[in-house]
Copies of this chain bind each other. A is one copy, B any other.
Amino acid sequence: MKDNLVKENDFVLFYLSPRKKWLIQVSPGKQVHTHAGYIEVENVIGKEYGTSVMTNTNQEIYLLYPKLNDYIFKSKRATQILYPKDMAIIASWTDLSHGKKVIETGTGSGSLSCFIANLIRPDGHLYTYDIREESHETAKKNIEKAGLSEFITLKIKDAKLGLEERDMDVAILDLGDPWTLIKTMKDCLRPGGILASVSPTINQVEKVVIELQNEGFLEIETLEILMRDMEVREGKTRPAMRMIGHTTYLTFARKSLDTVKG
């Protein structure tokens, strides 16, 4: 599709090894410094993606186009509870694809917003709310960096005051007290629309599920995803010793039109 050559202002993933890689926007005068020497960034303009350049100490650095996860990981914060594995399941369980209309609260750093927007492009749209001004600013920058601004409407508002979007295909709850917003999100969803809620503690999950039942949601389901890395070496293959034991629980449900149940 494109000509596959690095251009000025491109974001490029400079790849030295699986754990040593840097996402850098190409512009004159910049340098990438590594423990394996440095590179003058402007020298990579015109190189083909997938090829390598040499540092001043003759180490190979590969030039890769970034994946969406490369953008998202760079904006990761200490309090982050949503990992790529969780985002992947949310996308799949809520059936995200081009054209879908999605509402999200809260925005946080915008990682999940970017993830969603990338999947509903080019004709879908995400409306995302956060009550915190600073969150709004951070998210705005991250979304711009990922080139996804046109698919996302960012709003600063307390969702508890009510939200105006209607007929959304998907509603995402990613904040501390999601059970307080089940009714609000239900109003935003179209019938049969899918709600996803993210909570790290089991107590939050209980409250969310009870509220979903009260509001007549169907197909209520809570799950958690464990990811285990394998260390694959010929004749010495084993699971990795370290592992993330828990990030968050994921709860899903579908809106029905009849809420009066016995």
Interface residues in chain A, defined as those with a beta carbon under 8 Å from any beta carbon in chain B? 1, 4, 15, 18, 48-52, 60, 62-65, 67-69, 84-85, 87-89, 91-93, 95, 97-99, 101, 118-119, 121-122, 167, 190-194, 200-203, 205-206, 209-210, 218-230, 232, 234-247, 249, 251, 254-258
Closest B residue to A222 by beta carbon equals: B230
Closest B residue to A208 by beta carbon equals: B232
Q: Does A229 lie within 8 Å of B225, measured CB to CB?
A: no
Closest B residue to A235 by beta carbon equals: B203
- The interface residues of chain A, by DSSP majority, are classed as mixed
Question: Assembly of this chain: how many copies?
Answer: 4
Report A54 CB to chain B, min CB distance, Å: 11
A95 is contacted by which of B68, B193, B246 (Cβ under 8 Å)? Answer: B68
Tell me the bound Cα distance from A95 to B88 in angstroms: 10
Q: Does B238 lie within 8 Å of A246, measured CB to CB?
A: yes
Given contacts A226-B228, A228-B224, A256-B52, contact A245 B234 (CB under 8 A): no
Q: Does B245 lie within 8 Å of A241, measured CB to CB?
A: yes
Q: Does B51 lie within 8 Å of A191, measured CB to CB?
A: yes
Q: Does B241 lie within 8 Å of A243, measured CB to CB?
A: no
Tell me the bound Cα distance from A220 to B225 in angstroms: 22
Given contacts A234-B210, A237-B202, A238-B201, contact A228 B257 (CB under 8 A): no
Q: Does A190 lie within 8 Å of B50, measured CB to CB?
A: yes
Chain B residues contacting A227 (CB-CB under 8 Å) are: 89, 223-226
Report A107 CB to chain B, min CB distance, Å: 20
Q: Does A48 lie within 8 Å of B257, measured CB to CB?
A: yes
Chain B residues contacting A191 (CB-CB under 8 Å) are: 4, 48-51
Given contacts A51-B257, A225-B85, A258-B51, contact A241 B244 (CB under 8 A): yes
Q: Does B236 lie within 8 Å of A203, measured CB to CB?
A: yes
Q: Does B205 lie within 8 Å of A237, measured CB to CB?
A: yes
Q: Which 8 A-B pairs have the closest CB atoms?
A: A50-B191, A243-B245, A88-B92, A239-B246, A226-B226, A222-B230, A67-B95, A209-B232
Q: Does B256 lie within 8 Å of A221, measured CB to CB?
A: no
Q: Does A238 lie within 8 Å of B48, measured CB to CB?
A: no
Q: Does B222 lie within 8 Å of A225, measured CB to CB?
A: no
Tell me the bound Cα distance from A204 to B42 in angstroms: 42
Chain B residues contacting A92 (CB-CB under 8 Å) are: 69, 84-85, 87-88, 91
